[in-house]
Structure 1
Amino acid sequence: MKGKHRIIVSTKRLKYDFELRRNLTIIRGDSATGKTTLVDMIREYVNNPSGTPVELVCDKKCYVLEGSLWKGQLGEISDSIVFIDEGNEFIRTEEFAGTIQKTDNYYVIVSRESLPTLPYSVEEIYGIRTSGKYGTLKQIYHEFYRLYGTNAYQREIMPEVIITEDSNSGYQFFKQICRENQLECETMNGKSNIFHYLNAHKDEKILVIADGAAFGSEMDRVQKLISDRKNMALYLPESFEWLILSSGILKKSTVMAVLHTPYDYVESEKYFSWERFFTAILINETKDTYLAYLKRKLNPVYLNDSAKEAILSQMTKIRLDWKINDQ
């Protein structure tokens, strides 16, 4: 499945109206915010569409996945939107992550806990709030709102240390940038180590660069840790490959079209996260050219002055050359 899909679930008293644009959407929030009610309404419609007051409008079929037989149920579902309420322990397992990775569905998961086995985006974590939009009709309207965004903590900062989540091309690029500007650069060898590093270096000026497309499971605890610390900032592009594509280095209109509406191009069965999709696009678009991209080892052409400037220009609130220029 690909594309953006609108879902309207309603009764005379309640209404939910929202859009999904990725294969993984997480709904969070405290009790009594309408999360379970949404899943209950969808379940009621699916089980008895002609005998329920619930109306469901969507261009895809919707299902609720639950219980110990979830894997068998999922085997019968394709090209659909699958809702899973909190309390289903299987959503935390490697088995679940491995199973849904091979499907062509979109998943909406209600969970107050982080789910580290799933590569979900910082931008696709939502809360639900009650709006007065339909107040005059005496219908309570529930709307989704983003808890975070890729720019949530991209505050202005002149860092002394840059940390990246892995040691691939992105790290190699920023390692060179840091060397040229007398800054430190370290790889965390995994996104789960970022929180521990920040917690152990509370007084340093640190910039975290990570793939926003798959950083969702870490966002809550990292955000809470740095929310009142002006010496720490996050830069969360979709991925390093997205950063290169967005810089305009390739000068291809087809690439810019993909970047404008990636949800129209990302097949959920093929790409478990948008990070994988952007990597594939960059590798394919630069194959057999001087810009040929490899995930593991950075092509030196991306360290040319013009390429560096184009890539770094995306980081509008972050200054990396302050040590040299201020001397």
Structure 2
Amino acid sequence: MRGEYQLTVRTNKVQVKLTIRRNLTIIQGKSATGKTTLLDSLRAYENLGTQSGIIVNCAAPCRVIGGIDWEAQLSRIDNSIVFVDDTQKFVRSHAFQHAARHSSNYYVIVARDELPQLPYSVDEIYGLKNTNRATTKYPVYTRTYTSTYRIYGDELYDGDLPEEVIVEDSNAGYEFFKVLCAKSGIRCVSAGGKSNIYETALSSSAQKLLVIADGAAFGPEMPYVYSLRRFKKIELFLPESFEWLVLRSGLFNDAQTQEMLLHPADFIDCEKFFSWEQFFTKQLRELTRDSYLAYRKETLNPAYLQQHELETIAGSLPKLGITSH
């Protein structure tokens, strides 16, 4: 399954609109905003169809699973958008992670807490917001219109020099940013994995930090890292992945790459790539195979540190306070 889907669920009192573009979408937020109503409405429509009085508009089938036989339910579902409430204990199990990873479905999970076993994107964590309006035909009645907002919005950068840069991994991305930081006279450290970023930032003596991580799978870590902003000035740079940065830097201007970067959901098959980071890694490897820029994730090809390549990638970054000069 691939592509972006618009979902509208409408009852006589509530209308909910969602945009679903990845295999994992998380809905969080305050109570009484419509999360339970959304699931109940989809379940009623699934059981009763139009007799439920509910209208569901979506180009993909929408299903709700739950209960002790969830695996049997899921085994009968393909190329659909599957909704799950995290009050179902199986959501936190490795069995569910395995099933989701190897299925052709998109998943929308209503979650009260983080789901560390699932690699969901920081860009696909949403809250629901409500607007009440009187109906046109019967003004005495009101309908609640529910839409989504990103819980973690776009980061703004002041361009000031950080005291320290923390990079998620120790692979190619870290090697690139370590060189960039050295040119700016800034200490750069590897956290050795996304789950270590919180402790690395907490234990750092620096008060002004820049954290660089793959946003495509960083969603579960966000509440913990955000909590540190009460004590330290922390800026977060969370591109999809380092490979995504390289692809969009300007080193590759072919039409297919540019189209893929504009509409990645149309190119990424969720059954093959559980995280978008995996897809962008594969794309960069294939695009540079047998060239001087042949990409290896484990160790950065020195060609990317040559002046032209380094400055091209660095020039595509926002004002992070680190430069190639």
TM-score by length of 2: 0.94
Question: Any residues of structure 2 matched to 1:13-162 within 5 Å, and which?
Answer: 13-132=13-132, 134-137=133-136, 138-149=142-153, 151-152=154-155, 154-162=157-165
Flag the 1:80–1:310 CA change in 2: closer, same or farther, 3 A: same
Shift of 1:317: 2.1
Give unmatched runs, 5+ long, in structure 2: 137-141
Question: Any residues of structure 2 matched to 1:274-293 within 5 Å, and which?
Answer: 274-293=276-295
Amino acid at match of 2:316: Q
Match among 307, 310, 322 for residue 309 of structure 2: 307
RMSD across aligned C-alpha pairs, in angstroms? 1.7
Flag the 1:250–1:16 CA change in 2: closer, same or farther, 3 A: same
- Which residue number in structure 1 is paired with residue 189 of structure 2? 186
- Which residue number in structure 2 is paired with residue 172 of structure 1? 175
CA distance in 2, matches of 1:142, 1:274: 28
- Which residue number in structure 2 is paired with residue 209 of structure 1? 212
Give unmatched runs, 5+ long, in structure 1: none
Shift of 1:51: 2.1
Shift of 1:201: 2.5
CA distance in 1, matches of 2:61, 2:231: 43
Amino acid at match of 2:146: H
User: Deviations for 1:31-56, whole angstroms, at most 9, x for unmatched residues?
Assistant: 21211110010001001114201111
Shift of 1:284: 0.7
SS in 2 for 1:241: helix
Shift of 1:203: 4.1
CA distance in 1, matches of 2:262, 2:134: 35
CA distance in 1, matches of 2:320, 2:220: 24
Is 1:316 matched up with 2:306?
no
SS in 1 for 2:52: coil
Of 38-47 and 247-256, more deviation after overlay is shown by 247-256
Shift of 1:222: 1.2
Aligned-pair identity (%): 43
Amino acid at match of 1:223: Y
Shift of 1:187: 0.9
Flag the 1:277–1:245 CA change in 2: closer, same or farther, 3 A: same
User: Deviations for 1:90-136, whole angstroms, at most 9, x for unmatched residues?
Assistant: 1112221111100110100000111111111111000001024x444
Amino acid at match of 1:79: N
Shift of 1:24: 0.5
- Which residue number in structure 1 is paired with residue 139 of structure 2? none
Amino acid at match of 1:246: R
Match among 258, 261, 264 for residue 259 of structure 1: 261
CA distance in 2, matches of 1:247, 1:312: 8
Shift of 1:78: 0.3
Question: Any residues of structure 2 matched to 1:221-240 within 5 Å, and which?
Answer: 221-226=224-229, 229=232, 231-240=233-242
Amino acid at match of 2:164: V
CA distance in 2, matches of 1:278, 1:4: 18
User: Deviations for 1:126-154, whole angstroms, at most 9, x for unmatched residues?
Assistant: 0001024x4444211011111113x3364
SS in 2 for 1:258: helix
Shift of 1:278: 0.6
Size of the alignment, in residue pairs? Answer: 320
- Give the 4+ runs in structure 1 shifted more than 6 A: none
CA distance in 2, matches of 1:104, 1:154: 37
TM-score by length of 1: 0.93
Amino acid at match of 1:144: T
